[in-house]
Amino acid sequence: MKETIYTIPVNDAYEAGHPCPLCTLQQKLDSDLVEYYLGPALMEPDVRKTTNEKGFCQKHLTDLYCSEENRLGLGLTLHTHIDDLINDLHPGIEACRPGSKKNLFKGREKDYRKNIREMAQRVKKREDGCVICDRLENTMDRYLDVIFYQYFIDADFKKRFDEGQGYCLPHLSFLMYGAAKYLNQNQAAEFLTQLSCLEKRCLETLRDDVEWYTLKYDYRNQDKSWKNSKDALPRAIRRLSGDCSLKPRQ
């Protein structure tokens, strides 16, 4: 397969045996990209051009800062990005201000309101831009292609997939959208049948663990074993939200 560069992290994630291998893949990729944008690449003209234009989302700005690596490099990146924001947005914001000499809408109320909304959309687009999110999305899509390819040609991979621990809801929908994008009708039928069985089995186990966790608060069950329910709540939250930052108490 040509995409060997993508098969290695996919196989590593599935062999690790963690819940939701797609979360494992995404976390590793996310960490690698934060490191990349704090490394020597930040001084490359094409990289700086992209970070100037797209910037970073709230999460990744926080990740870049909290990594405590290359604060100088982060400062340089943010400096030129903010400069780009000023040059891009300020003239438009000034132009849509009622009474501005640059306002082209002659005071007509519906036109100046429309102008403000359009400018707000431009600001929102800049706010939502993120070079890390874009690369995450593109690379995860390549990983998805690899997963489907290996599922139908590699019996060992298919077995690991079918006998796995299921997927969080965000990555369950990700797989389903991928099936619609990459698989023919017969392949989609086979894949979704197995995915449905896998997810049902895993969710039923999680439901039972959460139920037993609640039943342990009944004094009649005080001396009974916790079974596998001590970390049921954080596991349930991770399964429902895809948030792997929540760790069970020790």
Same domain for 124 and 31: yes
* Structural domain of 183: 166-241
Claim to verify: residue 115 and residue 191 sit in the same structural domain:
no
Average pLDDT over residues 187-199: 96
Q: In this predicted structure, what is the pLDDT of residue 152? A: 96
Each residue of 8-59: pLDDT tens digit? 999 999 998 888 999 999 999 999 999 999 999 999 999 999 999 999 999 9
Please list, in sequence order, all residues whose beta carbon lies within 8 angstroms of the beta carbon of residue 59, skipping any fewer than 6 positions away.
none
Higher pLDDT, 108 or 230: 230
C-beta of residue 96 within 8 angstroms of C-beta of residue 115: yes
Least confident of 90-99, 117-126, 186-195, 202-211: 90-99
Q: Is the pLDDT of residue 156 over 60?
A: yes
Same domain membership, residue 125 and residue 23: yes
* Section 213-237 average pLDDT: 94
Tokens for 196? 């449905």
What is the token pair recorded at 33?
A: 């990209």
Place of tokens 């995404």: 26
- Whether residue 102 lies inside any domain: the answer is yes
Residue 170: what residue type? P
Rounded distance between C-alpha atoms, residue 168 and residue 242, angstroms: 5
Average pLDDT over residues 115-143: 91
Question: What is the total count of domains within the chain?
Answer: 2
Asked whether 74 and 105 are in contact (CB, 8 A), the reply is no
Kindly give the interhelix angle for 169-182 and 131-153, rounded to the nearest 10 degrees: 70
Integer Cα distance of 194 and 183 in angstroms: 14
Asked whether residue 49 is domain-assigned, the answer is yes
Give me the pLDDT at residue 99, please.
60
Tell me: pLDDT of 77 over 90.
Answer: yes
The reported pTM is 0.82
| Cα gap 165→239, rounded to integer Å | 10
pLDDT (0 to 100) of residue 120: 87
Share of the chain above pLDDT 70, in %: 88
What pLDDT is stored for residue 103 in this prediction? 56
pLDDT over threshold 60, residue 223? yes
Q: Residue 102: which pLDDT band, with cuts at 50, 70 and 90?
A: low
- Given this model, what pLDDT does residue 107 score? 52
Co-location of 29 and 121 in the same domain:
yes
Q: Which is more confidently placed, 46 or 103?
A: 46
SS3 content of the chain, % helix, strand, coil (to 5): 75, 0, 25
Q: Are 149 and 1 in contact (CB under 8 A)?
A: yes
Evaluate the CA torsion angle 208, 209, 215, 220 in order and state its sign.
positive
**155 falls within a domain:** no
- Whether 105 shows a pLDDT value over 60: the answer reads no
User: Which are the contacts of 199, defined by CB distance < 8 A and separation ≥ 6?
Assistant: 166, 167, 172
Q: How far apart are CA 57 and CA 189, in angstroms?
A: 37
Query: Is 249 a residue whose pLDDT tops 80?
Result: no
User: Are 23 and 82 part of one and the same domain?
Assistant: yes
For the record, the structure tokens of 88 come out as 């891009």
Whether residue 112 has pLDDT greater than 80? no
